[in-house]
């Protein structure tokens, strides 16, 4: 019997006697009860409830694991290869490899992404109308509806980026979208999702339908290209540049949106393959371009983007740092969700870990916990300044079963070394030193939760603590500022910021290697 016959049979009822084909799926500990059609991919069901698929649902990782508590999910070849004997016996499966066939109770590792909105005050020139600012993140989307006369935020919408089902990181999405068919799927997906968010605003505020005049969107370069429907192929290979970095402006109709026909839609320009319009928005938000003193903006997201400058000159770069800080490439790494170690401190000469979710069982470690753990381990001598874990079995136990491996420590060294080297090179390009930097803004969710003391202890930030400040969602704030700024002024600002390619910089490798080691000086001792 072919698959089409099976589907026709299931539509009539599994026994052919009128039995409903609806399947009951219970997700714990989420407390979610669902009824879905037979053959519905678990990938589609779970994604709607916050489960990420790091490899894009290709069965190449274990990031989408679920444990079968009731019901049956037959073992696939990929599961036999990726899962250990113990995991298989415990009922763990890769949800991306399965469809709903029988009633199921699944234990799901909920990924509760920290989505940063913004309520910062900013200077603007009042005008009539309604504006919408959108931060297109690789993982999350945030939109705010703004009253342009008062600057008041009327409403906020947040959502997981639906594109994540085709890869949690931007390069996975580039791989999926490098051909026309894949790109069409991703472009339609992000445009449709943002339209849905905007329509929710307009449903709750009907008067805004006639008053909506401006929509400004920002995001990294891949998100910029996917929203604007630009070719991704140049971003798939070295030197990861693109001829399509400029701003985009059009009407809702050009995007296939049947809303506000007289509104203007703008996507801010990018600087390079890995320095997007969200960083330009960060410059607008932190007003680096208006400062007499040197100001630094560091966004520790999927990649590590850095801008340093003032009203006279500005330089920017990107570094391959984000994966470790976001828990990726760490053996037991995860996002800051229930069960994640998010903080580590020293108490009575021992490591003491805090777990997200009161009373939750430990199941992994997120970026802020990783930085804390290594900082504390350095103070206790459990990790050497070289990064070596001296005591066999060369693991750093935290709370059973969570531990760090020697490879995990190396991943952190690579990430923090890249950021520190990027800062040094930009300062060198500006003919300046750390002493000349008046303020450092840490943008994004990670920047808001990382311990400054721990970041300094591992040498991630070699800058005095009193100059380092969490800056929240600077991309969203900058998008709001752009609602009150004309296109010509923004394009002029973009031209004033020079992109420095670290991979081709003659000093990068040497400085990178220097910055990979952990500092030993007591000046970095935790406070």
Flag whether 62 is in a domain.
yes
For residue range 418-448, list pLDDT tens digits in order: 999 999 999 999 999 999 999 999 997 677 7
pTM of this prediction? 0.76
Flag whether 491 is in a domain.
no
Query: Residues 453-481: what's their mean pLDDT?
Result: 93
> Quick one: 348 exposed, middle or buried, by C-beta within 10 A (0-12, 13-18, 19+)?
exposed
The answer to whether 218 and 276 are in contact (CB under 8 A) is yes
Chain centre distance of CA 439: 24
Question: Kind of pairing, strands 294-300 and 437-443?
Answer: parallel
Report the range of poorest mean pLDDT among 28-37, 93-102, 234-243.
28-37
When divided into structural domains, the chain yields a total of 1
pLDDT at 91: 87
Flag whether 315 is in a domain.
no
Flag whether 375 is in a domain.
no
The pair phi, psi for residue 458, each rounded to 5°, is: -90, -5
pLDDT at 54: 62
pLDDT at 169: 76
> Quick one: 275 exposed, middle or buried, by C-beta within 10 A (0-12, 13-18, 19+)?
buried
* Of 388 and 34, more confident: 388
Mean pLDDT score of the chain, rounded to an integer? 87
The answer to whether 467 and 294 are in contact (CB under 8 A) is no
Rounded Cα–Cα distance for residues 406 and 138 (Å): 29
Flag whether 47 is in a domain.
yes
Whether residue 110 is predicted with pLDDT greater than 50 in this model: the reply is: no
pLDDT at 339: 85
Bond from prior residue into 393 cis (ω within 30 degrees of 0)? yes
The answer to whether 315 and 422 are in contact (CB under 8 A) is no
The CATH number of whichever domain residue 72 belongs to comes to: 3.10.20.30
pLDDT at 113: 41
Whether residue 291 is predicted with pLDDT greater than 50 in this model: the reply is: yes
* Of 78 and 306, more confident: 306
DSSP 111-126: ----------------
356-371 as b/e: b if 16+ CB within 10 A = bbeeeebbbbbbbbbb
Q: Quote the Cα angle for 521-523-527, to 5°.
A: 125
Copy the structure tokens of residue 114: 């920290």
For residue range 8-56, list pLDDT tens digits in order: 333 333 333 344 468 899 887 656 788 888 988 888 888 666 566 666 6
Q: How does residue 117 score in pLDDT terms, banded at 50, 70 and 90?
A: low
Give the residue numbers spanning the domain of 81: 3-108
Report the range of poorest mean pLDDT among 161-165, 372-376, 382-386.
161-165
Query: Residues 275-297: what's their mean pLDDT?
Result: 96
User: What are residue 458's DSSP bridge partners?
Assistant: none
Copy the structure tokens of residue 411: 């991943």
Copy the structure tokens of residue 32: 């979610």
Greatest distance between any 2 Cα atoms in the chain: 80
Chain centre distance of CA 166: 14
Flag whether 268 is in a domain.
no
Flag whether 10 is in a domain.
yes
Strand order in the sheet with 304-309: 468-472, 437-443, 294-300, 304-309, 314-319, 497-499
Q: How far apart are the first and last CA of the chain?
A: 68
For residue range 200-231, list pLDDT tens digits in order: 999 988 888 899 999 999 999 999 999 999 99
Flag whether 261 is in a domain.
no
Q: Residue 492 CB: number of other CB atoms within 10 A? A: 11
Query: Residues 119-147: what's their mean pLDDT?
Result: 89
Bond from prior residue into 18 cis (ω within 30 degrees of 0)? no
For residue range 318-354, list pLDDT tens digits in order: 987 766 777 768 899 887 777 889 999 999 999 999 9
Which residue is listed with tokens 């399965």? 98
Whether residue 69 is predicted with pLDDT greater than 50 in this model: the reply is: yes
């Amino acid at each position: 019997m072919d698959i089409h016959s099976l589907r026709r049979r299931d539509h009539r009822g599994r026994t052919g006697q009128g039995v409903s084909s609806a399947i009951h799926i219970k997700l714990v500990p989420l407390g979610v009860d669902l009824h879905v059609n037979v053959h519905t991919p678990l990938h589609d069901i779970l994604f709607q409830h916050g489960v990420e698929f790091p490899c894009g649902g290709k069965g190449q990782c274990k990031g989408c694991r679920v444990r079968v508590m009731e019901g049956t999910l037959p073992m696939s070849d990929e599961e036999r290869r990726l899962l250990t004997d113990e995991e298989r016996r415990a009922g763990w499966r890769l949800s991306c490899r399965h469809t709903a066939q029988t009633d199921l109770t699944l234990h799901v590792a909920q990924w509760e992404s920290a989505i940063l909105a913004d309520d910062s005050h900013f200077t603007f020139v009042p005008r009539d109308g309604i504006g919408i600012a959108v931060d297109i993140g690789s993982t999350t989307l945030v939109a705010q509806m703004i009253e342009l006369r008062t600057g008041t935020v009327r409403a906020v919408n947040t959502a997981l980026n639906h594109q994540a089902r085709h890869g949690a990181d931007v390069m996975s999405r580039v791989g999926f979208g490098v051909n026309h068919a894949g790109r069409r799927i991703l472009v339609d997906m992000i445009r449709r999702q943002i339209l849905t968010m905007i329509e929710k605003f307009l449903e709750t505020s009907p008067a805004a339908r006639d008053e909506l005049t401006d929509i400004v969107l920002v995001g990294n370069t891949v998100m910029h290209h996917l929203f604007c429907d630009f070719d991704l192929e140049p971003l798939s290979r070295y030197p990861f540049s693109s001829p399509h970095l400029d701003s985009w402006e059009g009407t809702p109709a050009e995007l296939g949106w049947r809303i506000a026909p007289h509104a203007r839609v703008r996507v801010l320009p990018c600087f390079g393959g890995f320095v997007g319009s969200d960083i330009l928005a960060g410059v607008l938000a932190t007003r680096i371009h208006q400062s007499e003193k040197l100001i630094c903006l560091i966004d520790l997201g999927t990649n590590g983007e850095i801008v340093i400058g003032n009203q006279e000159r500005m330089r920017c770069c990107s570094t391959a740092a984000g994966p470790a800080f976001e828990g990726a490439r760490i053996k037991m790494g995860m996002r800051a969700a229930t069960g994640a170690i998010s903080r580590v401190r020293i108490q009575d000469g021992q490591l003491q870990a805090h777990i997200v979710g009161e009373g939750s069982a430990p199941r992994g470690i997120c970026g802020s916990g990783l930085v804390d753990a290594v900082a504390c381990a350095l103070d206790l001598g459990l990790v050497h300044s070289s990064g070596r874990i001296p005591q066999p079995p060369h693991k750093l136990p935290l709370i059973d079963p969570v531990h760090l491996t020697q490879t995990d420590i190396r991943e952190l060294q690579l990430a923090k070394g890249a950021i520190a080297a990027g800062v040094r090179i930009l300062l060198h390009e500006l003919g300046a030193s750390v002493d000349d930097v008046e303020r450092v803004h840490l943008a994004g969710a990670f920047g808001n939760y990382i311990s400054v003391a721990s970041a300094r202890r591992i040498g991630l930030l070699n800058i005095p603590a009193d100059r380092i400040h969490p800056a929240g969602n600077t991309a969203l704030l900058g998008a709001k500022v752009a609602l009150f700024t004309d296109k010509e002024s923004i394009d002029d600002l973009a031209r004033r910021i020079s992109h420095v390619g670290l991979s081709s910089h003659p000093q990068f490798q040497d400085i990178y290697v220097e910055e990979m080691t952990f500092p030993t000086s007591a000046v970095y001792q935790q406070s």
